[in-house]
Structure 1
Amino acid sequence: MWRNTMNDITLPRASNHLKADALDIGLTEFIEEFGDQLLESLNRSNPPVYAGIDNPARQWVLEGLKRQPFPAQAQVVQAIAALLLDQNEQAGIINAEMGTGKTMMAIALAAVMHGAGYRRTMVIAPPHLVYKWRREILETIPDARVWVLNGPDTLVKLLKLRDQLGDTYDGRQEFFILGRVRMRMGFHWRLAFWQRRAGGGRSLAACPDCGRLLQDQEGNLITAEEFQREERRRRCDHCNAALWTLMRPGKSDGGSRRNTVLKSMCRIPTIGPVRAERLLSDFGEDFLASMLLDNVSEFINLMDAKGNFIFSDRQAKRMERAMANIEFGFGEGGYQPTEFIKRYLPDGCFDLLVVDEGHEYKNSGSAQGQAMGVLAAKARKTVLLTGTLMGGYADDLFYLLFRILTRRMIEDGYQPNARGSMAPAAISFMRDHGVLKDIYTERDGSSHKTAKGKKLSVRTVKAPGFGPKGIHRFVLPFTVFLKLKDIGGNVLPGGVH
């Protein structure tokens, strides 16, 4: 039998033939007493992928980096490399505390993977960390070729990559850093139709190409007002013409590029209309637009003709904080980068996908979570970087695991239903590995003529917790943990700079 407290283990009483008292021992005492035997049994049933013995070839690559990782960081790299290369697993997770150098470990891992034939690495990062990734990559691997995909020219760079796929490889490692916001941004569109007047003063929607009146699924004619309320793009059933068109929201005053750049600069702290006009007069709209789109650091460090900085240190700090969350765009729209990669680049074009701040992609219906899943499906291997893998509930992990460990999840029966919905699989995962509470409520209803009535309602809510079976199946085999204290005295006393 089980006692009510989880920290105690109670063994059942012996039978009448063996008179003995029940053994009551705390869980902590049990682990202290039998921990070594439990660990030996665990190692026999599940041999570790990495047992502290470094691979000489991979260690040689790490020692050749311009910035070498600390010993604890190098062990994490060796462990993840063994998981992805030796065990041929689909993905790995680095769960490390803040300040342990997750960026450095991911770059070192990419270098090790490059030595094994993994040419291209795609990095998904928050927009304000894109240039931090670029800087650290070039400081660690100076001869690397780094592409920043964080502006309206992202599609142009992807088109250039597609054209270069057949070129002779020169041996240089390539990194593609994609901003998390830009990754999910697509084009803007609106419905397009032709209005035809009908009897009774009604206005019906018609195809702008063939002129055929539009109908719903039941064959009823659709009015213009009803068609304007639709939220999905559709095509004409007769000629297959698109019933939508591209649009540019928030058209600037006069529509000129100069006014667009002017209004964009006025969104930045410390820059008003007068100063923005002066900057445009001194540097030109094209020069300023190119910096705002691709490298905000250069804009913050602008210098005048005498070599003096335009903005003071205090202004630069305010601008840097604000511009981390501002997205500039001066084009006519965009094509979602993940959609282009899915449609027009071959599978395995990106050998390694590095997902920074991986816990941000755990939600079921988020656009960036679905976009990350598309990139993970196209890449050969995936590495997730996070400091908080789980938020306390089992469904925090379900969609994240399904996007990076799709094969393992499908093997265990978690897959979409006939309608393509993942909701039943998520509930099944919660019942298998999480905690669900079924709350039964019984109420006495109003009396009937011959009997009393009762009303019973049942509702299911989730509760915090993740079972040991789920940890053993989905977390421990793919995750390397690192704490700040594991690095020891190698961390600068002043913190991270």
Structure 2
Amino acid sequence: VRMRMGFHWRPAAARKRVPGGELAACPQCGGTVIDSDNEAVSLSQFLREERRHKCRHCHSPLWTLMRPQRATGSLQRDLVLKALRKLPAIGKVSSERLVQQFGEEFLATLLGDNIHEFINLMDENGELVFSDRQAARMERAMATMEFGFGEGGYQPTEFIKRQLPDHTFDLLIVDEGHEYKNAGSAQGQAMGVLAAKARKSLLLTGTLMGGYADDLFHLLFRILTPKMLEDGYRPNGRGSMGPAAMSFLRDHGVLKDIYTERDGESHKTARGKKLSVRTVKAPGFGPKGIMRYVLPFTVFLKLLPQAQGHRWQRVAALR
């Protein structure tokens, strides 16, 4: 099951009667809820909000936790259609076609538990439903999305993060570890929470990195946190890991500086030149990084089942 951070919630506001209708008000201080344009928000409009808000007067949350019942029938179909339409490259017609072809229950399972199976969805002829470009766009978008279809309430990893002390578990085993490398993915953050609560972490993967040094940065930070902090890779004052990731890429990866020179406007005595430079990453991971972060913690395994004559190769990284 795909462990993700998050919880189910709904907007919460008090009813404030005014001439001509009802406005949303803060349940704590009674202040009227206002939008970004400083306009009062009607109660009906506020209850349709899909983002969590705080009161601008007392900063109390204008939402509450909920434990919904399992969605079935037409309700589940509507939820799946709504979730599909949040994704790039899927509109009203495409979402209806997907639900008709695969069924809302099957799609809800994929969206809630394994987005990679959804992205690599195949039709009855064995053809991929989405093109490579569509798949790449959806993977980027789904990395930070939460899908809830009315099952359960408080997510397990959220409970573990808040209630259990560090080193509660003796061993964490993470299969397909490369799926947890994205910086802002809820799935990757959930894995980091579980790794912090375990004494040892065993990461299983056949594709440790995609060729770039920063493919490993967030994965290493989640399972080798003390070593990464020791080497100076830590969040900045705003809590962002961006500068640390760039520093890691400069130390152990490959960066290319591309200089572009263009003719500028004519001057009185000579034609001016405009020089611009941009830095892009290139494939490669340096030997220092391999010796520091990979080899001391990695075991390469080959399983050779003689009966079938097949060969599988797995890489296990043990913290």
Other-structure match for 1:436: 255
Instruction: Tell me if 1:373 matches 2:192.
Output: yes
241, 245, 268: which one aligns with 1:422: 241
Determine which of 204, 209, 219 is the counterpart of 1:390.
209
AA at the equivalent of 2:52: R
Number of residues paired by the alignment?
A: 244
Identify the structure with bigger relative contact order (alpha carbons < 8 Å, sequence gap 6+). Answer: 1
> 1:188 maps to what in 2?
8
**Is 1:221 matched with 2:25?**
no
Q: Residue in 2 aligned with 1:493?
A: 308
> Contact (CA 8 Å) 1:355, 1:384: kept in 2 or not?
yes
| Aligned residue in 1 for 2:162 | 343
Report the TM-score, using the length of structure 1 for normalisation.
Answer: 0.42
Distance 1:387 1:491 in 2: 20
Task: Name the one with the larger helix percent.
Answer: 1
Q: Quick check: 2:71–2:150 contact (8 Å CA) kept in 1?
A: no
What amino acid maps onto 2:205 in structure 1?
T
Question: Does residue 334 in structure 1 map to residue 149 in structure 2?
Answer: no
Distance of 2:56 and 2:292 partners within structure 1 = 48
CA separation of 1:412/1:255 partners in 2, compared to 1, >3 Å: closer, same or farther? closer
How big is the alpha-carbon RMSD for the aligned residues of Structure 1 and Structure 2?
Answer: 4.0
- Deviation track 1:425-483 (CA, whole Å, cap 9, x = no partner) reads 11111111101111111211222567644322221111111111111111111111123
Counterpart pick for 1:469 among 288, 294, 297: 288
Shift in Å, 1:233: 2.7
Give the partner amino acid of 2:173.
V
Partner of residue 122, structure 2:
none
Unmatched runs of 5 consecutive residues or more in structure 1: 1-178, 257-266, 272-328
Alignment CA distance shift 1:369-1:254 (3 Å): closer
1:363 alignment partner, SS class: coil
1:245 and 1:270 map into 2 onto residues whose CA distance is 34
Rounded to whole Å, the distance in 2 between the matches of 1:268 and 1:350 is 43
1:267-319: CA deviation from partner (whole Å, max 9, x where unpaired): 89999xxxxxxxxxxxxxxxxxxxxxxxxxxxxxxxxxxxxxxxxxxxxxxxx
Change (3 A) 1:223 1:457: farther
Q: Distance in 1 between matches of 2:47 and 2:16?
A: 14
What's the secondary structure of 1:480's corresponding residue?
A: strand
Cα 1:391–1:253 change in 2 (3 A) is closer
Normalising by structure 2, we get a TM-score of 0.63
Instruction: Name the residue aligned to 1:409.
Output: 228
Secondary structure class of the residue paired with 1:445: strand
* Uncovered stretches (5+) of structure 2, i.e. residues with no partner: 77-98, 104-147, 312-319
The residue that corresponds to 2:54 in the other structure is 235
Distance 1:352 1:388 in 2: 22
- Percent identical: 70
One-letter code aligned to 2:153: G
The 5 Å alignment of 1:52-451 reads: 179=1, 181=2, 183-184=3-4, 186-194=6-14, 205-214=24-33, 221-224=38-41, 232-236=51-55, 241-246=60-65, 248=68, 252=72, 333-448=152-267
For the Cα contact (< 8 Å) 2:4–2:190, is it kept in 1? yes
